[in-house]
Amino acid sequence: MFHKILIANRGEIACRVIKTAKRMGIATVSVYSDADANALHVKHADEAVHIGPAPSRDSYLSIEKIITACKQTGADAVHPGYGFLSENAKFADALAKEDIAFIGPPINAIEIMGDKITSKKQANAAGVSTVPGYMGLVETPEQGRDIATEIGYPVMIKASAGGGGKGMRIAWSNAEIEEGIARAKSEAASSFGDDRLFIEKFITNPRHIEIQILADNHDNIIHLGERECSIQRRNQKVIEEAPSPFVDSALRETMGEQAIALARSVDYKSAGTVEFIMDQEHNFYFLEMNTRLQVEHPVTELITGIDLVEQMIKVAAGEALSFRQSDVTFKGWAIESRVYAENPYRNFLPSTGRLLTYNPPHHHQDDKGCIVRNDTGVYEGAEISTYYDPMIAKLCTWAPDRTNAIEKMLDALDEFEVEGIANNIPFLSALINHQAFRDGALTTGFIETHYKGGFEGVAIPSDIKDYLAQTACVLKYIEMQRMNVTGPNENQQQQCLAIKTEDTAFECKVHYEAPHYIVSTKNNTIPLNVIWSLGQRLTQISLNDQKLTLRVNKTTTGYILSYRGSDVSIDVLPPHIMKLMALMPEKQIADTSNLLLCPMPGCVTSVLVKEGDQVEPGQGLAIVEAMKMENMLKAERQAVVKKICIEPNTTLNVDDVIMEFE
């Protein structure tokens, strides 16, 4: 067995590998860039080595620097995590030449499966069902149009060396091919150093199902069932679960057998994932093979009880799998939600900054056996930068069945506190609570179908909205009692308050009768059990048998209370002040309609127009690169460019002005 493992990665996956290595009694080494000097994976490892500036090409992607760190620390093995060098055959070969073990598959398997064109040909030869497409490289937009016309629209433009949703574009017509090829080629070159593309048929309304495999050096290959990864945005997974609500045991075995056949055809070793897309008639087609640990591996671990990182380490050390296919059992249901630093209310634009509050649900198993697990690489006070993937955490729940796993996830998301940066927790709550998700009616177009105009929150039920308004009254009452330097007791004076929301206004009286706060309005009297102290971001309320966990944001006139994707702004004031508030003029919002503002922190890599140009609706104006993704900014109306305010390759903050229009 290895005595010291270097993790050639960062963030939550580095922390994840360190956790298992420590449990196995193996020393660990982290590597870090300038931006990660204070990162969690640096703190958790036994040793840490600085490997360069923040840009990944100068640090985490530098094979030479990783090998130097191995020699410096005496590490005899490297776990690559995912992303970066995890599927880089040159890296594995360089390690082998230095007699350092690569905790991953053989070089030949990485090379074959790392190229999407070659892997499709290999899958065909192994008898695996594949998607119709062009088995060659696309060199020009004209060639792309010809191929797409022959295959039939819609088509998927994909980077041959791609992964993680990068270097991928869908084209629905000839008009979209040219831009799709340009963006996919540029993004692929930036992310992988390889701009080769191919085109295949895009299966409409597909599901994304993947099979986890394990293989050792003793001719043992098994599968660990499937994961449903259909909830995606911009081709990146958002929510995953295991098993899939669409796959029965017979289909699972058929897909598993094909995944094993493909792995055997390339003499695969270690953990790997064979990804399929499946149509609504349960026909499935090979998509790609990821020759590494997947981001969503925890859901497989939760339903099988098998530590995939441990198995990867043991296989790399030459050990045989201690179990066979017949030993693998699937128990219960697991769901993973990817918590990202992005603003769902602004088209999911990346968010950067410091985590002023970071208080995730703690890892635990409740009295019903349900499990909460949170894989993370950040901490309160840590900074989310523009250089790397914006993932904050992977929140996972396990329960005996899917319904309870969903409920446990909703509760865990309710309790997840993040402040200081925008995050997608409200959107995750809305997705998990959506009836179509609960019904298992999933496709890779789920988000585009159910949130066509983007995410604007969720319509909150009227009874819940009433509870929120009454809760706001109690919060104000608690504040006022604190100002009176008294604590809640039965003799406290009753407070009269006025409440105003978007669609209602009323007056109420609040007092405390242990253990309830009593809210009395003209029409009814409600006893509320509210657990809250000044400054807390969460409050829990109980009314009869219903319990809610709410997020609390203080405003100058009241509160914004949030519940599972819904935000309700509530003014709570003494009645005479509320009457005076009605006389105050509203603040006028500045007109920015003649400006193109940067929608996210990032680098403007290209400006596509010049001063004096007339632009048309939908025309590309500039490209902003953020979090390793390229974002095209387009004109919303016809206009003339008056002034270009920045130079290409300028780094901007949110709402910095890029150009002005006449």
Name the residues annotated as catalytic: 288
Residue 186 buriedness (CB in 10 A; 0-12 / 13-18 / 19+): middle
CA distance 592 to 590: 6
Nearest to 633 by CA among 611, 643, 642, 655: 655
CA distance 336 to 238: 8
CA distance 52 to 146: 45
Q: For residue 389, which phi and psi values (nearest 5 degrees)?
A: -55, 140
The structure tokens listed for 110 are 């990485």
**3-class DSSP state for residue 337?**
strand
How many C-beta neighbours within 10 Å does residue 494 have?
Answer: 11
DSSP string, 194-226: ---EEEEEPPSS-EEEEEEEEE-TTS-EEEEEE
By DSSP bridging, strand 516-520 and strand 525-531 are: antiparallel
CA-to-CA dists, residue 93 to 89, 268, 289, 651, angstroms: 6, 16, 20, 36
CA distance 509 to 465: 18
String of b and e for 128-142 (b: at least 16 CB within 10 Å)? Answer: bebbebbeeebeebe
- At CA 444, angle to CA 440 and CA 449, rounded to 5? 80
The structure tokens listed for 418 are 């993040």
CA distance 73 to 78: 12
Q: What distance lies between CA 307 and its chain's CA centroid?
A: 22
By DSSP bridging, strand 371-376 and strand 364-365 are: antiparallel
Helices marked H in 538-590 — which ranges? 575-581
Overall size of the chain counted in residues: 662
CA distance 452 to 77: 47
* Region of 603 on the Ramachandran plot (φ > 0 left; ψ -120 to 50 alpha; else beta): beta
How many C-beta neighbours within 10 Å does residue 426 have?
Answer: 22
- Written as one letter, the residue type at 292 is R
CA distance 210 to 39: 31
| HEC profile of 295-333 | CCHHHHHHHHCCCHHHHHHHHHCCCCCCCCHHHCCCCCE
Q: For residue 298, which phi and psi values (nearest 5 degrees)?
A: -60, -35
CA distance 456 to 383: 27
Q: For residue 36, which phi and psi values (nearest 5 degrees)?
A: -110, 20
